[in-house]
Structure 1
């Protein structure tokens, strides 16, 4: 009994002492506006917290005495204040300084906490909406390619661009929408990213393995497309109307968006539509089969509270694109069109009419892609830590119509359903170490519907991975890294294909159907991957830093690489996979130096990437060297696997003279070499098999821009610019079996003007952008343009082979805010 009384008295005395322990509270502002997520830490004590949405903070349990308190946050200069705690409550208010934009861009891609761009050892580039608006783009990936050195795209016409980072693409580049991984049929050559370009406010690009955070499919890097987040006075509604016309293919784009902020809620809704007829170049004229129509709808609601935030969003993407095949009249080189199924002779088709070429109606041979996305992303704050949860569902419906006599019969019809989950916990700082643990992955199911061709089986996929990431600042050195383990299961049942007695087309049949053929034998396999990274940034000074990073990436084979066995009608390719393929692993080393000088920003990034079990496409030939033709009029590709190495560099020098602040001269260079290290293949084909496919040539981009620093009449800071894009010859290509051929270099000159237009009251009436690409109408072919290989004749009257890229294109874009 005596011991119990002593314990009770001790408890009461402890509570009394705690009750008398002073607290420190106050307000954090920047230019008198409240700032949230600012770290508040007292040196010498394990007391830390973060400012909440109204800028306030509170630290409890601080003993009386003299201390130094530090305020720090992304994008703001750290502040140190000495305080003397005498009373029970001490008030500390601070106004912190926002850093210059070029030194403090906040990125969330490829890392687990928001971080300053300069502190990340991983090469990361950021592209703003302003930069995207000032270029001619027919899709978002094209805008990123023009703005980020080291990023290229494999294209199939103007509306299909699949991103490549430093020579690696397809499932090796992970694309995110607002942090949610984008899941469509990425294995297809002939469709792009299902995102509304007008609704994206920012794009972030990680160049290098990001498997640590995302697991498989981020072997080459990550592109995160971030939609607009309203940040204006509460209780008001704002919006914009964007319209864009492009002269070459008559593209008309319109987008209407609204944003409303009330109390702690933010609401956004946007609707977009685009339509274009076939594009033009002076070699081919109007290129038959390249028209498209696209529609987008999106809506979101977000609530911000002291406990964190929660955002729920939904998007819908609908795109109808024609399917080009490149068939022509042998003498006139005019494009022809398929009008028959059985008995179709590719070299004796009727010539496409003028109405077929310049009309906006979509021809019967087209693909129809629909993508639905619903997700919630939430953050829950617990003092100095926070929990982030992202859950999302997606459905991708892809139909390819390739039967002119049965226009409503899809050749390919697949439905892909995906559930994504991503949970991260940012732990409290411990001894200056910021760390994150997390688990993420997805469940996916693909099903074929009423189609006639089946390039892949119906399959199920389950993916899960766990990781630990940490970073710490040691004086002038920022160190970060982590480890991750992944498991992916892919399985499918026996898949039988038969012949429809009424149409003569192929169809999926049940296993007990006596007329069916087993096209995809059952398969079940687990793939495991261990990945990680370690990097550092050495801040020699505020203006000069060196970065170094080494990372191991992992990628499980995708469905076509292990399971394909049939025609993809939209690609005009019969794919043959290999179910014995192993996962890809790479080890990439990056080193970079960045200098922020008075009159220039300079950066040099070097990389070396060694890949185990690299998977690539190669044309299939018979023993006599002749192309294997399984389906007439379509190429046959078989996947190969070997070691590979890629190395290269990116160099930028952006001049902005302090004596002429109205002038800027930005320059970039990107170079990558891809080496095939298949010893057996190289022993027999040392020259033709030396390099990897789809490697871009040396590229140089320069832009000279003059921007008025003061209004000129009703024009608010108008600009004029000229830019040049130089693409060298690509003579380092995968030439075995004519998979690729030499591509001649070319130079494109572009120019543009633009300005905000103000009313007499100083309000922005509109933003106007006029841009001309390929001013001199240069005839050119990109080595990454798949249409370059759409050719049915050994020789042609004009000596030209394949389809050329778009010619001169003038763009008029108007953005009207309200």
Structure 2
């Protein structure tokens, strides 16, 4: 018996020690991009692996000989490839998987620790592609997002100034990202927009609901991640030229993009220039001081290697934005202009017609400059990977509002920010994908040679650590995690005085005669624990249900705790409260998604309870009269209470299988915001029952006809008609006339477009034609800040404040080469 065992060992041992095995590596593609986290398995064995975030894979230890390797990913067609594995050699195989006819295969990178499929993420996420952004012609990028994502709205101050709101929450509760880096540019302010070049974006991802787990403070309402366009793998030089014109305000935009690829490197450059004069409507005519000029430059370099990738980018943004104040003649309602300091608003000279239609920037304007340099990388570490990000930003905000000293800035603030992030994507263990990470930023704010000081000079350090995990059990995908945040804000005593030569205010040193302590020193830590837990149940490949519970966290921003002065561009004196506590929210989301043969159905319901909710309210004295600290400017003081927001979004898109030329897309969004400060509600007889700046019921319905195929040189031909319907908003924060009733309105919009080929397959022209507010409807959005720019108690035409833009016809052409 012993002899038999020894003989068997002698026979098998050489085979065990010298097994004939080989290896296979390569990349799994979807169209022209790598397919993240696709599965690779050797048929009939337990051998397998997963591709990385860029589609690259490597599988070792495959028995030599003829093998069948399976490549698969959810919502993509699987592919089987026969391979003759050679002992001791590594072969390269590149495969391309075709997507199934469903949008659930969208890969997202926002709000999760690593790229994942839309269907596997329980948090509500919407994706706008490059083609969608190009087709939705708008005066700024936030308005394009509003058109494409139900539940997203914008507070506006004219055509080029839009602040995003998600489900009734905005400002520092919505975190705006550029390529994953938080956008830091005094985002608490009303009177300037997002400092991003809309022409250079490849996609926009919108998270609706708390995303504090991944991003920390300021993502209480959600995230809008604007991802720049990078030319797909294609050797040589490519580019595009975009030109755009709008008839209402004469907006003209030109953007030139160049992309060059060689070996493993890609380079992208873009320059953009936009300008516009005052916009108009049938009630106000041309709205004085609503024009702008905008300049953008972007440069990106990226290399993809077997070890991962590195991307380096730089952006430059400069916006000259006029500042409307709404002053006008009481009888004719023609706009007037300020020509003297501290003048009588009701006795200013009239603005002439040439000043209303000129592209020259008016003397009273603001200048916003934003510079950004950043690098992000991903490195393979065994079966896991490390992501690293570092970036620096500088935002320079200047407002010129002195008519007798045009070169003297009333506001001159420089905000410097250092962003950082590092995360480790652990190897998959027992089917669990997990990530641990840390991110945050260091920030300094400094007032320069100004005359008004709404916020102090401060230093801020923010850091948060988190752990995130996800796992699939058959048809169920579960994900969640926890995060801890710490934010430290500090500033020293800040004194102001009066310049004896100019009479304007100025910053002075401690001990200066007649100095006023405007900002007493402050030093405080804010901490918070946030997290989420959610699941997706995949009933079928096209039908699924999602549920998620998330706790959000937001530290008070600098203006909420530290403001004590006039913001001249907003015409508001802000007063903060140094005792404010952080906001905490608990939100529940339930969603149903079905991508069927003839229709798409989506229903998302949410309920959000917030502790320590911070909001603005007009300040009044004991007699109920508005407090006026600076003549001609309102005074607002921040308040804090509990709040509740709840609502839903519904989408129904019809695309009959037998009528491929027809699309009928419909969406509905509803949100209600309740102020739970019971004492204040009782004291105000119900005027404070609702939260400020809550959008009304919004319906959007579009009938779109498209011709598939080519017709000579023409292709991608479509025409569309859209009804954009807002109901009345009679549930508003009415205390002290902070807000007023807003009637409902319906806007009819038309659109058309086509692509025109040339003799070269690589060169073609895209044309887009759009007419918004076709019937020139006179209306005011309840989120239009210009609605409240009024200095009289009554008006000869019965219309108070400034109205939104009238009919606007726009033409856009994109030449691809």
**What is the TM-score with the length of structure 1 in the denominator?**
0.94
Q: Which sections of structure 2, spanning at least 5 residues, go unmatched?
A: 1-11
For residues 228 and 682 of structure 1, what CA distance do their matches in structure 2 show?
49
Cα distance, 1:136 vs structure 2: 2.9
Cα distance, 1:544 vs structure 2: 1.0
Matched residue, 2:105: 104
| 1:775 and 2:793 matched | no
For residues 581 and 451 of structure 2, what CA distance do their matches in structure 1 show?
30
Matched residue, 1:259: 259
**Secondary structure at 1:142 match in 2:** helix
Note if contact 1:28-1:34 (Cα within 8 Å) is conserved in structure 2. Answer: no
Cα distance, 1:69 vs structure 2: 6.4
Q: 1:23 to 1:611 in 2, by over 3 A?
A: same
Q: 1:82 to 1:198 in 2, by over 3 A?
A: closer
Q: Pairwise mapping of residues 586-601 of structure 1 onto structure 2 (< 5 A)?
A: 586-601=585-600
Q: Deviations over 1:440-474 (max 9, x none)?
A: 00000000000000000000000000000011110
Q: 1:502 to 1:238 in 2, by over 3 A?
A: same
Q: 1:15 to 1:219 in 2, by over 3 A?
A: farther
| 1:225 and 2:231 matched | no
Q: 1:49 to 1:15 in 2, by over 3 A?
A: farther
Matched residue, 2:358: 359
For residues 34 and 613 of structure 1, what CA distance do their matches in structure 2 show?
45
**Secondary structure at 2:711 match in 1:** coil
Q: Deviations over 1:257-308 (max 9, x none)?
A: 1000011110111110000000000000000010100000111111111111
Cα distance, 1:759 vs structure 2: 2.1
Cα distance, 1:48 vs structure 2: 3.1
Note if contact 1:189-1:571 (Cα within 8 Å) is conserved in structure 2. Answer: yes
Q: Pairwise mapping of residues 380-459 of structure 1 onto structure 2 (< 5 A)?
A: 380-459=379-458
Q: Which moved more, 1:508-517 or 1:742-751?
A: 508-517
Q: Pairwise mapping of residues 9-48 of structure 1 onto structure 2 (< 5 A)?
A: 20=19, 22-27=21-26, 29=28, 35=34, 37=36, 38-40=38-40, 48=49
Q: Pairwise mapping of residues 219-618 of structure 1 onto structure 2 (< 5 A)?
A: 219-234=220-235, 236-342=236-342, 344-618=343-617
**Secondary structure at 1:267 match in 2:** strand
Matched residue, 1:817: 816
Note if contact 2:29-2:35 (Cα within 8 Å) is conserved in structure 1. Answer: no
Q: Which moved more, 1:421-430 or 1:159-168?
A: 421-430
Q: 1:199 to 1:32 in 2, by over 3 A?
A: closer
Cα distance, 1:767 vs structure 2: 0.5
For residues 304 and 217 of structure 2, what CA distance do their matches in structure 1 show?
32
Cα distance, 1:29 vs structure 2: 4.9
Q: Which moved more, 1:605-614 or 1:15-24?
A: 15-24
Cα distance, 1:752 vs structure 2: 1.1
Q: Deviations over 1:297-349 (max 9, x none)?
A: 1111111111111010000000001110000100000000000014x000000
Note if contact 2:447-2:457 (Cα within 8 Å) is conserved in structure 1. Answer: yes
Q: Deviations over 1:721-754 (max 9, x none)?
A: 1011000000010000000000000000000111
Cα distance, 1:438 vs structure 2: 0.5
Cα distance, 1:542 vs structure 2: 1.0
Q: Deviations over 1:568-601 (max 9, x none)?
A: 0000000000000000000000001111111000
| 1:120 and 2:121 matched | yes
Cα distance, 1:404 vs structure 2: 0.4
For residues 92 and 14 of structure 1, what CA distance do their matches in structure 2 show?
31
Q: Deviations over 1:376-428 (max 9, x none)?
A: 01111134211111100000000001100000011110000000001111111
For residues 91 and 303 of structure 1, what CA distance do their matches in structure 2 show?
23
Cα distance, 1:213 vs structure 2: 0.1
Cα distance, 1:23 vs structure 2: 3.5
Matched residue, 1:4: none
| 1:194 and 2:200 matched | no
For residues 695 and 608 of structure 1, what CA distance do their matches in structure 2 show?
15
Q: 1:84 to 1:536 in 2, by over 3 A?
A: farther
| 1:646 and 2:638 matched | no
Note if contact 2:22-2:86 (Cα within 8 Å) is conserved in structure 1. Answer: no
| 1:213 and 2:214 matched | yes
**Secondary structure at 2:710 match in 1:** coil
Q: Deviations over 1:7-55 (max 9, x none)?
A: xxxxxx99996764623325455589895654435698686353797x7
For residues 64 and 201 of structure 2, what CA distance do their matches in structure 1 show?
50
For residues 534 and 27 of structure 1, what CA distance do their matches in structure 2 show?
35
Cα distance, 1:231 vs structure 2: 0.9
Q: 1:767 to 1:67 in 2, by over 3 A?
A: closer
Matched residue, 2:154: 153
For residues 15 and 505 of structure 1, what CA distance do their matches in structure 2 show?
92
Q: 1:712 to 1:50 in 2, by over 3 A?
A: closer
**Secondary structure at 1:302 match in 2:** strand
For residues 232 and 403 of structure 2, what CA distance do their matches in structure 1 show?
51
Q: 1:86 to 1:733 in 2, by over 3 A?
A: same
**What is the TM-score with the length of structure 2 in the denominator?**
0.95
For residues 115 and 715 of structure 1, what CA distance do their matches in structure 2 show?
36
For residues 31 and 92 of structure 2, what CA distance do their matches in structure 1 show?
15
Q: 1:331 to 1:530 in 2, by over 3 A?
A: same
Cα distance, 1:70 vs structure 2: 5.6
Q: 1:519 to 1:14 in 2, by over 3 A?
A: farther
- For the aligned residue pairs, the C-alpha RMSD in angstroms reads 2.4
For residues 622 and 249 of structure 1, what CA distance do their matches in structure 2 show?
41
Note if contact 1:49-1:383 (Cα within 8 Å) is conserved in structure 2. Answer: no
Note if contact 1:376-1:392 (Cα within 8 Å) is conserved in structure 2. Answer: yes
Note if contact 1:50-1:384 (Cα within 8 Å) is conserved in structure 2. Answer: no
Q: Deviations over 1:90-147 (max 9, x none)?
A: 9795845322351211110111111111221100000112222222311100100011
Matched residue, 1:9: none
For residues 130 and 728 of structure 2, what CA distance do their matches in structure 1 show?
32
Q: Deviations over 1:612-671 (max 9, x none)?
A: 000000001111111110000000000000000000000000000100101100000000
For residues 148 and 670 of structure 2, what CA distance do their matches in structure 1 show?
15
Q: 1:337 to 1:90 in 2, by over 3 A?
A: closer
Q: Which moved more, 1:808-817 or 1:757-766?
A: 757-766
For residues 29 and 115 of structure 1, what CA distance do their matches in structure 2 show?
15
For residues 647 and 189 of structure 2, what CA distance do their matches in structure 1 show?
27
Q: 1:265 to 1:83 in 2, by over 3 A?
A: closer
Note if contact 2:281-2:804 (Cα within 8 Å) is conserved in structure 1. Answer: yes
Q: 1:650 to 1:295 in 2, by over 3 A?
A: same
Note if contact 2:468-2:481 (Cα within 8 Å) is conserved in structure 1. Answer: yes
For residues 183 and 204 of structure 2, what CA distance do their matches in structure 1 show?
14
Note if contact 1:49-1:384 (Cα within 8 Å) is conserved in structure 2. Answer: no
Matched residue, 2:706: 707
Q: Which moved more, 1:678-687 or 1:327-336?
A: 678-687
Note if contact 2:56-2:306 (Cα within 8 Å) is conserved in structure 1. Answer: no
Note if contact 2:20-2:87 (Cα within 8 Å) is conserved in structure 1. Answer: no
Q: Deviations over 1:195-216 (max 9, x none)?
A: 0010111100000000000000
Q: Which moved more, 1:555-564 or 1:423-432?
A: 423-432
Matched residue, 2:6: none
Q: 1:356 to 1:32 in 2, by over 3 A?
A: closer
For residues 571 and 13 of structure 2, what CA distance do their matches in structure 1 show?
78
Cα distance, 1:711 vs structure 2: 1.8
Q: 1:322 to 1:384 in 2, by over 3 A?
A: same
For residues 33 and 684 of structure 1, what CA distance do their matches in structure 2 show?
62
Note if contact 1:27-1:34 (Cα within 8 Å) is conserved in structure 2. Answer: no
Matched residue, 1:681: 680
Cα distance, 1:713 vs structure 2: 2.8
Q: 1:130 to 1:56 in 2, by over 3 A?
A: closer
Q: 1:262 to 1:90 in 2, by over 3 A?
A: closer
